[in-house]
Amino acid sequence: MLHRFQKQKGQQTQTCPSCAQTQHEREFPDQTLTQVGKGCRCRIRRHRAHGAIRQRLLDLGFVPNAEVEMVRCATLGDPLELRVGDYYVTLRKREADLIDVRCA
């Protein structure tokens, strides 16, 4: 069971079309930003970060309900590049993990 869950999660991070499936959305209503696949769009639901990190994320437009697109990850897989509105922002996975999103 757990194994199947992880497998599905893996699929999701790799390909985008899974995001679009409404079926999927019902099954996984909440994701963290790291689980969003390349090229996918999602909406911010809430932050679980504190203090400076939270403030910086809010300053850069990661406000609740904002639309975010996963653009790419760096060569070694860590910092992520995201599009928020009309600009591009980089984020480490550690911080992205603290943002709950819902697929758009």
Partner 1 sequence: MSSTKKNIMIGLAGQQNAGKSTIFNMLTGANQHIANYPGVTVDKKGGHYRDETGRVEVVDLPGTYSLTSFSLEERVARDFLLRERPDAVLNVIDASSLRRGLYFTFQVLEMSFPVVMALNMVDVAEAQGRKIDHKKLAGLLGIDVVPTVGRKGRGKHELRQALRRAARVQRDEEAPFQDQHGLRINYEELEADIAAIHERLQESEDLVKSVPLRWMAVKLLEDDSEAKKLLLRYHAQAESVLDAVAAAAAMFQKKMDISPADYIVTCRDRLAASLVAQCVEVTKADTVRFSEKIDRVLLHRAFAPIFLVLTVYLIYELSIVQGYKLTFLTWPALAWVRTVVAGVLPDPGLLQDTMLRSMSLWMVDSVNTLLNYVPIFLILFALIAILEDSGYMARIAFILDRVFQSFGLHGQSTLPFILGGVFTGGCAVPGIMATKGIPDERSRLATILTVPYMNCLAKIPLYTLLVTIYFAAYKSYLMLFISTITIIMAMIIAKLLTSTILRTRETAPFVMEMPNYHLPTLTGVLRRAIDRTWVYIKKVGTIVVAVAIVVYVLLQFPGLPDERMAYFEGRMDEAITAFRENIQDTPYADLLADDQAVLNLLNTANTYREAKLSASTQEASTAVDDRYEALHPEIFPLLRPRDADARTISRHLRALSTERSNLRTTIREETIVYSYFGTVGRALEPVTQYAGFDWKINVALISSFAARESSVATLGVLFQEGADESLSLEERMERSGEATGFTPLHAFALILFFALYPPCLATTIMVKVQTGSYKWMLFSIIFPTLFGLAVASGVFTVSTWLGLSGIQAMVGFYLLALGTAIALSFLPDPAWKTPAPAITPAKEV
CA–CA distance, 56 with 73 (Å, rounded to integer):
20
Binding mask 53-82 for partner 1 (x = CB under 8 A): xxxxxxxxx-xxxx----xxxxxxxxx-x-
Q: Does 41 bind partner 1 (CB under 8 A)?
A: no
Binding mask 4-33 for partner 1 (x = CB under 8 A): ------------------------------
Q: How far is the CB of 8 from partner 1 (least distance, A)?
A: 24
Closer to partner 1 by CB, 24 or 71: give it: 71
Compute the residue count for the chain.
104
Closer to partner 1 by CB, 24 or 67: give it: 67
Q: How far is the CB of 3 from partner 1 (least distance, A)?
A: 26
Neighbouring residues of 13: CB distance < 8 A, sequence distance ≥ 6: 34, 35, 36, 37
* The amino acid at 93: K
Binding footprint of partner 1 on the chain (CB under 8 A): 46-48, 50-61, 63-66, 71-79, 81, 85-92, 94-95
